[in-house]
Amino acid sequence: MPKLKEECGVFGIYGHPEAANLTYLGLHALQHRGQESAGIVSSNGTHLFTHREMGLVNDIYTEEVLSKLPGRNAIGHVRYSTTGSSHLKNSQPIVVTYARTELAIAHNGNLTNALTLKEELEQSGAIFQSSTDTEVIVHLIARSKEQSVIKRIIEALMRCKGAYSLLFLSPEFMIATRDPYGFRPLALGKLEDAVVVASETCAFDLIEAEFIREIEPGEILVVSPRGVESFKPFTEVGHKYCVFEFIYFARPDSFMFGRNVYQVRKELGKQLAREQPADADIVVAVPDSGVPAAIGYSEESGLPLELGLLRNHYVGRTFIEPQQSIRNFGVKLKLNAIREVLSGKRVVIVDDSIVRGTTSRKIVKMIRAAGAMEVHMRISSPPMCFSCYYGVDTPIREELIASSLDAEEINKYITSDTLGYLSLEGVMKAVESYKGLDGNEGFCDACFTGNYPVEITDSKVQLKQLQLFDR
């Protein structure tokens, strides 16, 4: 139940009479990847049509709005919410006209040399409209001396470092591409004769598209009236899939990096039970993200699974706290402990990760207040010690509790009786349990180990503290 926010989710479809309509459904299925804003750009073969707005997909896209997004091709984007830079101007897809060419771009990930490139571009007169790193790509494309748009895009991407799963839409074509390391997912599917791409396969399920394969790291897939063409202009490097997609971000029903997310997550719970057993009476999940691991933990340990924490799904963005102090107010709005279940019990609480530790502390206190005799916190991932620069909105390192406290100190802070993390080896075992890694395949574990596969060109502090280029 971390406060981490995924950057975004993307969806695209080429060659279907209901392109905008299906994009809206695809984005609905990807809503968990970003609830701040949503955007759709459609193409009728001649022009692009855009509608972006702050809010949830289902609130934004009415029949009237969708009717103004004509054409057989469309891409869409959902974006996460943070305080600083949640302005409409930062929402995506970005649409620009340069030299009479219309181009839309939707981005999941994060460039690590965006500030450096931006400064260089501004020196030579570029005017930026948003504070997103994505706009840098657009300016690089506009300034390329290449004639064909595809060559311009390749030239621009050659200069970009970091994580990106990108969709481009022009009146003529759609392009889907993924950075050489493949940090963020991007799946390819088909619906009748239409080509479909999405951050996660759950979007395919809803519209009944068929999953074909993942867009490969370093691949540029061009879909145009000439058909589908694949380019691999980048030097090959070892893949670095984001392991946190498995631990927390992705929807359990998605199939990603060759595995089903729910099953990986349940396996993490089983492995956790093996590594971190507990002498307890019941297993309780922190809903919703802790549920799969809790099922695994219960199954492996033989301890019964109980619904000891209930989630209220009506929680909106802001809530007015009464002046009279309610203990653990923020958590209480979302979770309630069931006294009759917990009272007098030794309880294992299963969650997927601990970020700042404040929420875990509140949950432990809430469970104890409901009468639990012992509280054993079990986390289905290793201590998170490092910030992510590849598209996950982790806080700066200083705010990560595991960057300064060891497990025993964290146990004291969150006031649990015992605290057990899953080891990195345990994570990898769980991931591999469903499919062995092939030679080139690997995971990015920088948030646990600090081993950053791609150099962070921009100053880290700048990047994290300044919310990118936003004032």
Nearer CB in complex with a second copy: 96/407:
96
Strands 101-111 and 162-169: antiparallel
Backbone angles phi and psi of 311, in degrees to 5:
-100, 135
Active site includes 8? yes
Catalytic hit among 8, 388, 444, 447: 8
Shortest CB 223 distance to a second copy, Å? 19
Q: Which is nearer to a second copy, 27 or 419 (CB)?
A: 27
Q: Minimum CB separation from a second copy for residue 400, in Å?
A: 28
Nearest CA to 226 out of 147, 173, 298, 274 is that of 173
The rounded distance, in Å, linking the Cα atoms of 448 and 426 is: 13
The two tokens of residue 192 are 């009748």
What is residue 257's DSSP assignment?
T
Decide whether 236 or 288 has the Cβ nearer to a second copy.
288
Least CB distance from residue 121 to a second copy, whole Å?
9
Whole-number minimum distance, CB 397 to a second copy, in Å?
27
Cα distance between residue 364 and residue 347, in whole Å: 10
15 vs 395, beta carbon nearer a second copy = 15
**Token pair listed for 433:** 């349990």
Nearer to a second copy among residue 197 and residue 250 (C-beta): 250
- The structure tokens 């929402």 sit at 91
Question: Is residue 95 within 8 Å of residue 50, measured between CB atoms?
Answer: yes
Q: How many CB atoms lie within 10 A of CB 68?
A: 11
DSSP state of 357: S
CA atoms within 13 A on the CB side of 170: 19
Maximum Cα–Cα distance for the chain, whole Å? 73
Q: How far apart are CA 466 and CA 471, in angstroms?
A: 7
| Nearest-approach distance from CB 62 to a second copy, in angstroms | 7
* CB closer to a second copy out of 272 and 388: 272
Closest CA to 366 of 353, 357, 375: 375
CB of 284 vs a second copy, minimal distance in Å: 11
- Structural tokens at position 424: 């990195």
Query: What dihedral do alpha carbons 176, 170, 89, 53 form, nearest 10°?
Result: -80
**φ, ψ (nearest 5 deg) of residue 382:** -75, 170
To a second copy, the closest distance from the beta carbon of 249 in angstroms equals: 15
To a second copy, the closest distance from the beta carbon of 119 in angstroms equals 8
Find all residues with CB under 8 Å of 201, minimum gap 6, and list them: 187, 189, 211, 254, 255, 256
Q: Which two tokens stand for residue 10?
A: 């993307």
- Residues 105, 347: Cα–Cα separation, whole Å: 48
196, 12 Cβ separation under 8 angstroms: yes
Comparison of 6 and 179: residue with beta carbon closer to a second copy: 6
Q: Which is nearer to a second copy, 274 or 397 (CB)?
A: 274
| Catalytically annotated residues | 8
